[in-house]
Chains A and B, each alone.
Chain A
């Protein structure tokens, strides 16, 4: 499913989309598929599958731990396509990945295998459009969305050039900092979304920091999508018992889905 279709639906319903993030291979390969199913069944509109990486410089402790665990269990890049294939069809599935993993797999080959698995596009936190020639070509060739990031520190000029390279949606990094659930979301976020809107009609997803329904509702009041990662990962970090993690995830997703519908 294409990202645009999901946003068409949520816009028709007059609400923001809920985007849930989980690294592939965490808590285990099979359970990452199960967890994504749970998110979809409980109201997630779009899924971001993380590709575990040894040096995740954009991520805070929760996602670092999850990626470490997946890698220690032997996770391989090619397995991300198994996950995508298993969960695709109902909502758009994007992969969020550090760039070296894609380049190492082969940018064209990655795009081809991902498209064949039913994937919608890539979110690339450490790839700016200035360095993305190969990916721009590969994503065009395989009709994949490409989501680049804008940040509170971005100049208007950079916001303009970044959104011009985006397809699907734009990822607004709402705080200057790494991923992680926060008790208060950012005051910089509404301003960043407003500045970004001046340059694009694409939906704008807001990420970093959301952990509960109230925060989701707040972000949904100005963003087109609420992106939740660390809080979701946290469901499985606080317990070694995977079924109870699944239970917590179902409850959290339901709460967040309620938040974006307020």
Chain B
């Protein structure tokens, strides 16, 4: 598995672009994480938690009706069946356990749509940690149900009223708060972004997705997939799915949020359209203007609506190991509907981007007919029903 250098660089990407005040905490986290990785007791505890509490490993499912229509063999990694409804439980259980190891008593987290916030609040309450979640004020209004979930779980939710009042501003606020509370607080970051060692830490806790999938596919089919497809916002589920296959002859595809279409400028396709810069502590691809000011991203999927991307993805893109392509809102919603109608599975709009991308690869014959494609179904769609109702017009008597 490729590792960053000792100061957290993958090629020219990654690193630590943060105030000196945070360096000591990042060093502490780096050491604690590396030790935990090699500690059988920690690993056993985390595995038991994942199994008994997180519902891991998630199933691997051959989607026959969908495959028949697509002309390729599609296998779905069912992360939507995990506790709290997404791959994110893997990351929060790992980091919360690490927080306790470091002797810290509190976690803070940023959240966009609220999925990571709910997962963080879940892990925190389970492990007896205090939890504060920063969420853009816009998002607290749009995702009131998730705000209620976090509060029910005992977390404090702080609406962020600065900047564009969305995920990137929530992350700014979490970083600000962390500087002031770092002696007893861990920043339980939600994706493979941020300063080193966060991209490595989050990847290591999410890589179970790919590790499990690899073993499950070998067991069920006797072979590795020809391609792996995952959606990419910050990129935690995609890194989790890709890592096990990096050294294999397996094509890796990350599908970014194409929003209204790449050409409209209203999208969150950071690798496709962004340029190299520094955001939230790492050098990576960033949606930015000519001066380096961050540009607001747009996507129907709140979980992909972020103007940066994890630095390891930037490296995989720059070296050509993985391909990243945009998928529009319309393509994602069509795939979401198709999965519901063929397989009876309602996935998250984020995950629908991965599926839409895989279907496109089959359609345009980038993948030969009969290819075996692993699609990471990173989350379930319950949280998105409001958006679905609006998008398909179900509230206007439209029965489709």
Contacts and interface: CB of A to CB of B under 8 A. Distances in A.
Interface of A: 53-61, 64, 68, 71, 76-77, 98-101, 103-105, 125-128, 130-131, 148-155, 158, 162, 173, 176-178
Given A77-B291, A101-B292, A68 B163 contact: yes
A176 B178 CA distance: 9
B16, B20, B278: which has the most chain A beta carbons within 10 Å?
B20
Contact of B292 (A58, A77, A153, A158): A77
A173 B19 CA distance: 10
A161 to B, nearest CB: 11
Interface residues of B, number: 36
Given A100-B286, A128-B16, A178-B176, A152 B21 contact: yes
Contact of A177 (B179, B290, B294): B179
Given A100-B277, A104-B288, A125-B19, A53 B182 contact: no
Contacts of B16: 128, 130-131
Interface string B8-27: 00000001111111111100
A59 B180 CA distance: 12
Interface of B: 7, 15-25, 162-163, 168-169, 172, 175-176, 179-183, 277-281, 286, 288, 290-294
Contacts of A125: 19
A55 B19 contact: no
Contact of A148 (B20, B176, B181, B183): B20
Contacts of B294: 54-55
Given A54-B163, A103-B277, A155-B24, A126 B292 contact: no
A151 B179 CA distance: 10
A213 to B, nearest CB: 26
B2 to A, nearest CB: 20
Nearest to B27: A155
Given A57-B172, A100-B292, A126-B18, 18 more contacts: A57-B19, A57-B176, A59-B176, A77-B292, A100-B277, A100-B288, A103-B278, A126-B19, A149-B19, A151-B20, A153-B23, A153-B24, A154-B21, A158-B20, A162-B20, A173-B21, A177-B176, A177-B180
A98 B293 CA distance: 10
Nearest to B24: A153
Contact of A178 (B23, B24, B180, B277): B180
Contacts of B288: 100, 104
A153 B182 contact: yes
Contacts of B24: 153-155, 158
A173 B281 CA distance: 18
Nearest to A126: B17
A135 to B, nearest CB: 12
A71 B19 contact: no
B279 A100 contact: yes
B179 A100 contact: no
A78 B181 CA distance: 36
A77 B18 CA distance: 21
A148 B21 CA distance: 11
Contacts of B7: 130
Contacts of B180: 176-178
A139 B292 CA distance: 20
B148 to A, nearest CB: 27
Contacts of A131: 15-17
A153 B181 CA distance: 11
